């Protein structure tokens, strides 16, 4: 157990509470609207630690909750056949970004994280829902995949431009939830591989990530329970405003 607790012993009780509270909140957001766990987790933890550390803590909670999300709906095989070029390019884009960029301790990485969060929030608040024509999927999907991978490798945030692209495919609710889970799973595994290659994801970080799973799952359960009691549209708007403020703070103060 000492190895599991070593990371939290090193960072102290205040940061430990921040980690657990962040994953509880991030899981709640994901439970309500089906996305947002990596955005909230990396964004908030980026205020107090390096993005690479925050991304390492994200690996296990993100993987488990995404597998949970994509396991239900009955459209998995069809979505894999349709989206595999984008998923493959997410891996390749993350690999390219890991080689050329990576999440180090430079100030530009924190500003890049802030910029990615701000761009995601503004797109969610103001951009209309686009419609992707089937004829363009064969090149637009891979392009979105490689861009998403590069942004993931630099910031730990893997929602731009993958989420707007998937929302523009005209999928029904169940298909979209599964497609998001599939995309996020691919991004998380690619991010884990990139962090491991750079030596940022060792046994200590993985052990710490395992302990972060409990508050994330609790938050996801709470969010699903709250989904029927609150307006998802209003909550999503408040969520995007919060992400925009957080991104702007990191962009300016990073």
Cα torsion for 121, 29, 161, 96, to the nearest 10°? 120
Rounded to whole angstroms, how far apart are CA atoms 190 and 35?
18
Note the pTM of the prediction, 2 decimals. 0.82
Rg (CA), the chain: 17
Q: How far is CA 133 from CA 141, 149, 180, in A?
A: 11, 23, 19
pLDDT of residue 104: 54
Retrieve residue 162's tokens: 């993958």
Domain range summary for the chain, segments of one domain joined by +? 2-253
pLDDT digit of tens for each residue in the chain (254 aa)? 456 677 777 778 888 899 999 999 999 988 888 778 888 888 888 888 877 888 889 999 999 988 887 877 778 899 999 999 999 999 899 888 877 655 555 567 777 778 888 888 888 888 777 788 888 999 999 999 999 998 888 888 888 889 889 988 988 878 888 898 899 899 999 888 888 887 777 777 788 899 999 999 999 899 888 877 888 778 888 888 888 888 887 787 65
The secondary structure of 223-246 as a DSSP string is HHHHTTTS-HHHHHHHHHHHHHHH
Q: Is the dihedral of CA 173, 71, 186, 3 positive or negative?
A: positive
Rounded to whole angstroms, how far apart are CA atoms 90 and 53?
21
Other C-beta atoms lying within 10 Å of the C-beta of residue 218 = 16
Half-sphere exposure of residue 194: CA atoms within 13 angstroms, side-chain side: 34
DSSP 73: S
| Residue keyed to tokens 């691919």 | 186
């Amino acid at each position: 157990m000492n190895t599991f607790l070593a990371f939290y012993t090193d960072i102290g009780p205040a940061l430990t509470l921040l980690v657990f509270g962040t994953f509880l909140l991030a899981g709640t957001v994901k439970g309500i609207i089906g996305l947002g766990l990596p955005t909230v987790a990396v964004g908030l933890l980026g205020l107090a630690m390096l993005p690479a550390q925050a991304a390492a803590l994200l690996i296990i909670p993100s993987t488990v909750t995404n597998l949970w999300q994509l396991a239900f709906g009955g459209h998995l095989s069809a979505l894999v056949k349709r989206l595999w070029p984008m998923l493959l390019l997410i891996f390749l884009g993350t690999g390219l970004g890991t080689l050329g960029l990576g999440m180090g301790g430079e100030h530009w990485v924190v500003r890049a994280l802030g910029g990615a969060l701000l761009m995601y929030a503004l797109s969610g608040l103001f951009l209309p829902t686009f419609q992707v024509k089937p004829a363009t999927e064969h090149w637009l999907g891979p392009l979105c995949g490689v861009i998403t991978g590069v942004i993931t490798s630099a910031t730990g945030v893997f929602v731009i431009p993958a989420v707007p692209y998937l929302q523009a495919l005209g999928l029904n609710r169940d298909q979209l939830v599964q497609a998001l889970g599939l995309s996020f799973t691919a991004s998380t595994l690619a991010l884990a591989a990139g962090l491991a290659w750079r030596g940022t994801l060792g046994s200590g970080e993985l052990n710490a990530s395992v302990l972060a799973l409990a508050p994330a799952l609790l938050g996801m359960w709470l969010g699903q329970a709250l989904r029927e009691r609150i307006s998802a549209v209003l909550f999503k708007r408040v969520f995007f405003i919060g992400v925009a403020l957080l991104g702007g703070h990191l962009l300016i103060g990073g």
